Amino acid sequence: MRHDQYWKTILRTFLREFMELFLPEEASRLDFSSVSDVERQLFTDLPEGRMREPDLALEVRSPEREAEVIVIHIEIQHRRGADVPRRMWEYYSLLRLRTSLRVLPLVLYLRRGAGGVAPETYVETLLGLEILLFRYMTVGLGDLRAEEYLERDNVLSAPLSALMSGERATRVARKIRAYDKVRRSILDEARRSMLVHMIDRYLILSEEEEVEMSQKLREKEHVEVQEWLSDYEVRGIEKGIGQGIEQGIEQGIEQGIDRGLVQGKKETLLLLLRHRFGTVPEDLARRIEGIDSASELDALALKAVEAKALSDLGLD
């Protein structure tokens, strides 16, 4: 899965948890029981219609104003760039005009340099006047402290801590703790797998750290985590084997069907030749049996319909 698509899937799946973790007051005023996607193809530079597509735009209800529907727009960036503020304003304007709904804009920065959870602004001035002031929220994961979020009562906090800053000496303990938080969650298997994948993808240990983690997992206080991880890996292997068997069966069926069709075409061609010419020499029959191309057999069958002699087939 592409990197951007990976994060879109994470945020779409755990939107409530993400909002509650970083914007708790705003999240408390939203109803996440029904979330739907907004058409993301937006056009700029009219009438030419250059297409822009925001990363994630979701409709969510807010019970405050008679179940008003708003749009949560999230852009995913590796790091802060000079063009981000203007792009956020453009997306806001296009979404507002396209949907006629109020929009909550947000940028998720994966690397350091964005300042943690904070507002950003886009300003336009003209002749010394401030003509436009646009604000949006940002979450800079790389600037947040992993130790702080690791203990939050939120199922997304431990996996996201893998992207946050922390003491290098605590990396092994943080990874085990993150696994344990996911293990204790009440999520289904699919969502747990997504979070374990995030921990493994972004909190990568060195060989020495892997050895240290293996040793720590054998300690009494972590034995349940070790057993859970072992079961998780076994289930993953079994699932992979099962998928492989299913794919192999499907491929085998497809190959069998293809071979059956080719063999049927050979028999039809030989039957046609015997009907037209009485007998088919053994060497010619062997040549036809050696043909594995369905299209070549079709071409020979067409020739056989009009041929005046077996030599007209061109197989001599």
State the pLDDT at residue 72: 96
pLDDT at position 241 is 39
Residue whose C-alpha is closest to residue 161's, from 220, 107, 203: 203
CA distance 225 to 183: 7
pLDDT of residue 236: 52
Residue 272 class from Cβ within 10 Å (0-12 exposed, 13-18 middle, 19+ buried)?
Answer: middle
Q: What is the DSSP string of 155-207?
A: TTHHHHGGGSB--GGGHHHHHHHHHHHHHHS---HHHHHHHHHHHHHHSPPPH
pTM exceeding 0.85: no
Q: What are residue 56's DSSP bridge partners?
A: 74
**Which of 160, 184, 185 is closest to 174 using CA atoms?**
160
Q: What is the pLDDT of residue 306?
A: 76
The continuous run of DSSP H or E covering 276 comes out as: helix 223-277
Per residue of the chain (316 residues), give pLDDT as tens.
466 788 999 999 999 999 999 999 999 999 998 899 887 677 665 555 567 788 999 999 988 776 789 999 999 999 888 999 999 999 999 999 989 999 999 999 999 988 899 999 999 999 999 999 999 999 999 999 999 999 899 999 999 999 999 888 899 999 999 999 999 999 988 898 899 999 999 999 999 999 999 999 989 999 899 888 888 765 554 444 345 444 544 554 455 546 656 777 777 778 778 777 777 888 888 888 888 887 788 788 778 877 778 888 887 6
Contact at 8 Å (CB) between 143 and 113? yes
As a whole number of angstroms, the distance between CA 273 and CA 268 comes to 9
Cis omega (within 30 of 0) on the bond before 47? yes
Residue 135 pairs in a beta bridge with 121
Cβ atoms of 52 and 74 closer than 8 Å: no
Task: Give dist(CA 125, CA 15) in Å, integer.
Answer: 35
How far apart are the C-alpha atoms of 157 and 170, rounded to whole Å? 17
Domain boundaries, the chain: 1-144, 236-313
131 burial type by CB count under 10 A (0-12 exposed, 13-18 middle, 19+ buried): exposed
Q: Which two tokens stand for residue 147?
A: 């130790």
